[in-house]
Amino acid sequence: MLRRNTRLRREYLYRKSLEGKERQHYEKKRRVREALEEGKPIPTELRNEELALRREIDLDDQDRAVPRSIIDDEYAGATLREPKILLTTSRNPSAPLTQFVKELKVVFPNSQRMNRGGQVISEIVESCRSHEITDLILVHEHRGQPDGLIVCHLPLGPTAYFGLLNVVTRHDIKDRKAMGKMSEAYPHLILDNFTTKTGERTANIMKHLFPVPKPESKRLITFANRDDYISFRHHIYEKHGGPKSIDLKEVGPRFELRLYQIKRGTVDQSEAQNEFVLRPYMNTAKKQKSLGV
């Protein structure tokens, strides 16, 4: 297990170093391809290599046409397997927090909730790896109000740290009976306004928490980015026949997420590299929109 991990890590670093070269190569091929398609003369700097490149282009298939960044390599095999999530809290959670975590368990399909007890984070991560869990979610609180969410993708995956705001739980809503039962089908996803690289990375992380849904599923989860605050909404929709009317019924908790850190390693690797860190005390903090437009 240990040797495998070290080998994987070395591979990863090697691929990271190659990434630059590969990208150049890919760029060249792309340019040649474009020139050929449009019938324009090939750029002069590529004339010598043009023949070799052309041969390679012919051999390229769909999979290899787009250069794969190592960034999302963690999710390369994610689509093959369904995600398996473990939910847990910080130590000594209060009652409202445990309720909230129970709600989240219903929101994420294929998820399990675990009592934290007195376990150490590294222990938890090790046990998750051995049980082939793909994602670990930790929820933190402040005086009963949930205020932190940590999403950790497990085999060497990235960790995203969110702050929670404006949390409204299903328990808060008095008239729960009226809401009825919540469908437990695999939900559709809407990820709105994640345009920057960091935004797309975040979108990827959140996307791969959910399995592939059936096309006719009526359940819908939305992550909408407005001004660097991601709104989480959970709806059940109904399409009534003719006049394009869609009935949305809100179900499940609603909260705002605020991303403040993405780390390249797992939760227990505190020395891992930071992909993204929120800097709110800079003078230009007001102008910065790191997740989207």
6 binds other proteins (CB under 8 A): no
What is the rounded CA–CA span in Å between residue 198 and residue 278?
A: 11
| Span from 30-38, 93-101, 121-129, 228-236 in contact with other proteins (CB under 8 A) | 228-236
231 binds other proteins (CB under 8 A): yes
211 binds other proteins (CB under 8 A): yes
Q: To the nearest 10°, the Cα dihedral for 30, 33, 34, 36?
A: 160
What is the rounded CA–CA span in Å between residue 36 and residue 30?
A: 10
Smallest distance from other proteins to CB 14, Å: 21
Cβ–Cβ under 8 Å, residues 185 and 217: yes
Among 191, 236, 259, 262, binds other proteins (CB under 8 A): 191
Smallest distance from other proteins to CB 79, Å: 4
240 binds other proteins (CB under 8 A): no
Q: What is the distance, to the nearest Å, from the Cα of residue 273 to the centroid of all Cα atoms in its chain?
A: 18
What is the maximum alpha-carbon separation in the chain? 73
Among 114, 121, 156, 165, binds other proteins (CB under 8 A): 165
59 binds other proteins (CB under 8 A): no
Q: To the nearest 10°, the Cα dihedral for 20, 21, 27, 28?
A: 160
* Number of neighbouring beta carbons within 10 Å of residue 256: 16
Smallest distance from other proteins to CB 112, Å: 20
Among 37, 45, 58, 61, binds other proteins (CB under 8 A): 61
Smallest distance from other proteins to CB 273, Å: 25
Element (H, E) at 60: none
Among 10, 184, 226, 274, binds other proteins (CB under 8 A): 226
44 binds other proteins (CB under 8 A): no
What is the rounded CA–CA span in Å between residue 174 and residue 67?
A: 51
Smallest distance from other proteins to CB 120, Å: 31
User: Counting Cβ atoms within 10 Å, is residue 39 exposed (0-12), middle (13-18) or buried (19+)?
Assistant: exposed
What is the rounded CA–CA span in Å between residue 237 and residue 246?
A: 7
Among 18, 66, 173, 248, binds other proteins (CB under 8 A): 248
Q: Site size for other proteins, by CB under 8 A?
A: 46
Measure Cα distances from 31 to 46, 64, 67, 75 in Å.
Answer: 9, 15, 14, 28
Smallest distance from other proteins to CB 185, Å: 12
Cβ–Cβ under 8 Å, residues 86 and 110: no
| Span from 11-19, 147-155, 267-275, 281-289 in contact with other proteins (CB under 8 A) | 281-289
Q: Which residues bind other proteins (CB under 8 A)?
A: 48, 61-63, 78-80, 165-166, 188-192, 203, 207-208, 210-213, 220, 222, 224, 226-229, 231, 233, 235, 237, 239, 244, 246, 248, 254, 256, 258, 280-286
